[in-house]
A and B are shown apart, each in its own frame.
Chain A
Amino acid sequence: MRCGFCGYVFEEHEAERGCQGCPLVGQCGLVRCPRCGYEMAPDSRLVRWLTDALRSRANGAPSVDVGSDRGTLTKLAHVRAGQSVCVVDVEDGTRKGILKLMAMGLLPGAKLELLRSSPSVVYQTGFSQFAIDRELARQVIVEVLGEEETANGR
């Protein structure tokens, strides 16, 4: 989400950093910008669901230029189903976590095809399909390569 005051873009779970020292952490229902400390109400789930649904419908329409996302760096958790991506980097502090993601084919340079983005991220690499939850998918930085025509199974 984006801070309404300073414009900093952050993940909702990062906001807890801004709440350090406050006894109400996670209980007050407000989100505090980790950069400037401005407090705001989190995005409504209904609104987010609606915008997501509208966006994915728009993406299904043939008139949209599918190449427009090409080259964008983003997190695997934010990639839409049907796009193919290339892994750029894997961020993880713990050695065990890295090994886990490596075993799932998430190596820098690996090409993935996203099959689903919810409830968990499902991707295909090589001949195998894997599922990881969105928390793990947030640790994977990818470059969007484009839309995969065959991804919808048609």
Chain B
Amino acid sequence: MSTVQYSPEVEQYIQRIEAYLDQGYSLSTRSMSLLLLSGDEQILSMVSEQAPRSATEIQRVISEAQRRLGDRLLLRMAQAQQRRAVELTQGVLRRSGSQSRSWSERLSRATLAPLTGIPILILVLGLLYLLVGVLGAQVLVDWLEVDVFGQWINPWINQITREVIPWPIARSLVAGEFGILTLGVRYAVAIILPIVGTFFLAFSVIEDSGYLPRLALLIDRLFKKIGLNGRAVIPMVLGFGCDTMATVVTRTLETTREKLISTMLLALAIPCSAQLGVIFAILAGRPAALAIWAGTVFAIFLLVGFLAARIMPGEQPYFYMELPPLRVPRLSNVVVKTYTRMEWYFREVLPLFILASILIWAGQVTGVFQAVIAVLEPMVRLLGLPEETAVAFLFGFFRRDYGAAGLYDIQGLMTGVQLTVAAVTLTLFVPCIAQFSVMLKERGWKTALAVVAFIFPFAFFSGWALHALLSLLGVVLQ
């Protein structure tokens, strides 16, 4: 017999509710009664649909129980269930000796203590950079960009289209500077794919190892200052993969205030893996520039979060989380997860890249493109950047990584300071179309528009301020 026996006063309420229930439900009357007593609204609405009269009687009994026992009602029920669970497991479970206090337990404790946890965090970030920033963004991108596309695919496409398509306008749709195949597909396959691929691989390993909840605990204090709690580290870290996905995940945060702040910070200061990788690739040979970029974006993240937490009213969030044991990730899991994410990303990204190529082509043919660039150019000049970057900013409207990839194409034209300013501005710049549409869906159009209306001038202002500061100090970045 596996029934849980509750204390007499609780049992009395259970039986009184049971008396009002008839047999017609898929659950036993006792289970129904227990669920009703613990305040399950779904069951209550189910009962009031089938038997409205008994539902009001039941509600009377529940409110009497809540009045008489208060919080104790729920606690007593949980206690009784807990006791029974312990009884049941005691018969079948045997704890082995202290052998289990192995390296994983020791490592787990090391990740929790700030003194050892922060160096471990830095180590994890360093490995992440080696994998994504060096292997993905440099070695693989170089090979695909320069060798595969530059030497082989693009010349071949250009030649074929020259022979097959006689009209230059139609030809420029597929090939040439802004063609679907030579620009859209090249960006997606040669620049973005290796970077997100290596990032998703690293992220799957981190996710499966159980490290994320420990990171949440370590960072909780800092996040409390910006109106979030440690839990928000999960959407934030996911944002480094894809901000669109991360914006959906902010749903798991409890208060509206947290959802709002994290949505805005994701749109503003968290670069997605594609963008991150391209920025790594651009700034790779310049450690000082990379440090200034990272420091500026992180400072803006904290500053805007801190101010947002001050401005927005609301209760302080609480942090609570289960810490799963640290585990060695299983290779098959990691591979499947990485592949699934890459496939998802590719399916998501390729149509958008192609669409962006078509829009840019249409804009160029009709002259709209040049008009928008003419508007952007003075703004770009204000940041001390060459006019060609206006194109990259325009691309950034379509996808953040698309914009950064555009920057990658013209990096030869720019100095270290210019690249740093452009990278910071592009990182802060408006969210991509996909992220914006998710923001609309999750937070409503008012919030989404307000976020964009804040980000657009703020990104340019930050870029301008950084440019002014760097040139005032006479910084030269090689």
- Residues on A close to B: CB < 8 A? 90, 92, 95, 98-102, 104, 107-110, 115-116, 118-120, 122, 128-133, 135-136, 150, 153
Contact = CB atoms under 8 A, between A and B. Distances in A.
A133 B74 contact: no
Interface of B: 39, 71, 74-75, 78-79, 82, 98, 101, 105-106, 108-109, 112-114, 213, 216-218, 220-221, 224, 229-230, 316, 318-325
Given A95-B39, A99-B74, A119 B320 contact: no
Contacts of A131: 213, 216-217, 230, 319-323
Nearest to A124: B323
Q: Which 3 interchain pairs have the tightest Cβ spacing?
A: A133-B319, A129-B323, A132-B320
B78 A102 contact: yes
A133 B78 contact: no
B79 A116 contact: no
B79 A108 contact: yes
Given A95-B74, A104-B322, A133-B224, 9 more contacts: A102-B74, A104-B320, A110-B82, A116-B113, A120-B220, A130-B323, A131-B230, A131-B320, A133-B318
B345 to A, nearest CB: 32
5 contacts: A95-B71, A115-B112, A119-B221, A131-B320, A150-B101
Contacts of A130: 320-323
A103 B179 CA distance: 56
B75 A108 contact: yes
Contacts, number: 86
Contacts of B229: 133
A107 B320 contact: no
B105 A153 contact: yes
Q: Which of A98, A119, A150 has the most CB of B within 10 A?
A: A119
Contact of B323 (A122, A150, A153): A122
A150 B105 CA distance: 12
A113 to B, nearest CB: 12
A133 to B, nearest CB: 4
A135 B320 CA distance: 10
B112 A133 contact: no
Contacts of A119: 114, 217-218, 220-221
A76 to B, nearest CB: 12
Nearest to B38: A99
Nearest to A133: B319
Given A102-B75, A115-B112, A136-B320, A120 B217 contact: yes
A109 B82 CA distance: 10
B316 A90 contact: no
B322 A129 contact: yes
